[in-house]
Structure 1
Amino acid sequence: MEGRVDKAELRRKIVAAREELTDPRGPATAIRETLLDRPWVQMAGLVACYWSMGTEPATQGLIFALWKHGATVMLPVLRPDNDLDWAVYDGPDSVAPGPRGLMEPVDVRRGVDAIRTAALVIVPALAVDRSTGVRLGRGGGSYDRALARVGPNVPTVALLHEGELIDGVPAEPHDVPVSMAALPSGIVTFGTTVRAGGGSEPV
């Protein structure tokens, strides 16, 4: 499967499937607990995350927990050119409505390159290819630009519902793979899945 038409069709199918979920925000607790149990999450002093919306796995509890555990959490601010600026989250009262229904931090903007300093990057995705780590976004290209600025050894994690780790996500030259996906059932590092209980097995 390749090309924009197939990618758009896959995007429509996954969005439609999410709309059918009875509790789309339900996986948030399992994902949050699995992530917070990992030493590489616990030791990340600066985390780039995002404020979920709609049927995305909810991130609000994860953001709050990271912040309470002492991490500095940056959230994206959408620029007019669809690139992502970044600002620091400082508790539930530090976000306000932005464009397109997004909640954004009210702190001073740190620039598009602020993500280069993050020790952990958590991003949204509609799906991720189980073999390559290529993520399917919503089509704006914002996160591909942001991920291109992240260092090669920094964990990049996409949050998914069960069933959204799939084969055949179309790849285009600008697509930047993620190194992991977090689902309610565990964390997948491409080539190996790390179960919520801590064990691992090949994907």
Structure 2
Amino acid sequence: MEMPGEREKHAWRTEIIARRRAETPEEHAADTRALVAAAGQLDVGAWVCAYVPVRGEPGSTELLDALRTAGARVLVPVTGPPGPLNWAEYTGTDSLRRARFGLLEPVAEPLPTSAIAMAGLILVPALAVDRRGVRLGRGAGYYDRTLSAADPGARLVAVVRDDELVDRLPEEPHDRRMGWALTPRAGLQRLGEDHFTE
């Protein structure tokens, strides 16, 4: 039986996906350039978990390259059975191959879910995030099941467009809150209860 929170999340997803589809290639390219510039605010450390954007997600491989230029080794998800994500190291666009669901993945040997624990910074794709840190994903739950393996001190950063940082989203008990949002124009922003007013 579908719960009211699930219906509300579905409505949010439908609206945001429609807005992303309406974005022009020029708008997306401008947002990508701005995100790469904003990534300069990140303290990357030795390892970063990130993602290869698909289907209108903010960012591009240019963002991954910027993380590598800053000195980090970058892990991105690889497809597998439903459940926690496995990872592989991104070493440049020439290391990517087409995989299931239209994703691009490194050809490197996959690493287990526990590899996420090496990262002090985790960039998480999101459809939206609210000022409390509640993240709206696509609904499959891959990241919610994976983030429990992260280092408790890792910085969780939702990457969204500027209009996808909102005041409040529906939240369920299994949702893992983000500590920061990274947006093209506003850059890196701290999230949390003390940053939200009714």
Please give the TM-score of this superposition, normalised by the length of structure 2: 0.89
Match of 1:26 in 2: 30
Task: After TM superposition, list the pairs within 5 Å mapping 1:1-203 onto structure 2.
Answer: 2-22=4-24, 23-38=27-42, 40-41=43-44, 44-130=45-131, 132-184=132-184, 185-191=186-192
Contact 2:144/2:176 (<8 A) preserved: yes
Contact 1:155/1:179 (<8 A) preserved: yes
| RMSD (Å) for aligned C-alpha atoms | 2.0
Aligned partners of 1:59, 1:156: CA distance in 2, in Å? 19
When structure 1 is superposed on structure 2, of 137-146 and 2-11 the one drifting more is: 2-11
Unaligned runs of 5+ in 2: none
Unaligned runs of 5+ in 1: 193-200
Tell me, what secondary structure is at the counterpart of 1:148?
helix
Tell me, what secondary structure is at the counterpart of 1:146?
helix
Aligned partners of 2:82, 2:104: CA distance in 1, in Å? 18
Aligned partners of 1:155, 1:57: CA distance in 2, in Å? 19
Contact 1:73/1:88 (<8 A) preserved: yes
Aligned partners of 2:34, 2:67: CA distance in 1, in Å? 15
Aligned partners of 1:6, 1:58: CA distance in 2, in Å? 26
Q: 1:190 to 1:69 in 2, by over 3 A?
A: closer
Identity of aligned residues (%): 39
TM-fit CA distance, 1:141? 0.3
Q: 1:182 to 1:2 in 2, by over 3 A?
A: farther
Tell me, what secondary structure is at the counterpart of 1:27?
helix
Q: 1:202 to 1:3 in 2, by over 3 A?
A: closer
Q: 1:81 to 1:91 in 2, by over 3 A?
A: same
TM-fit CA distance, 1:168? 2.5
Aligned partners of 1:37, 1:143: CA distance in 2, in Å? 24
Aligned partners of 1:121, 1:88: CA distance in 2, in Å? 14
Match of 1:198 in 2: none
TM-fit CA distance, 1:110? 1.1
Higher helix share: 2
Aligned partners of 1:173, 1:32: CA distance in 2, in Å? 33
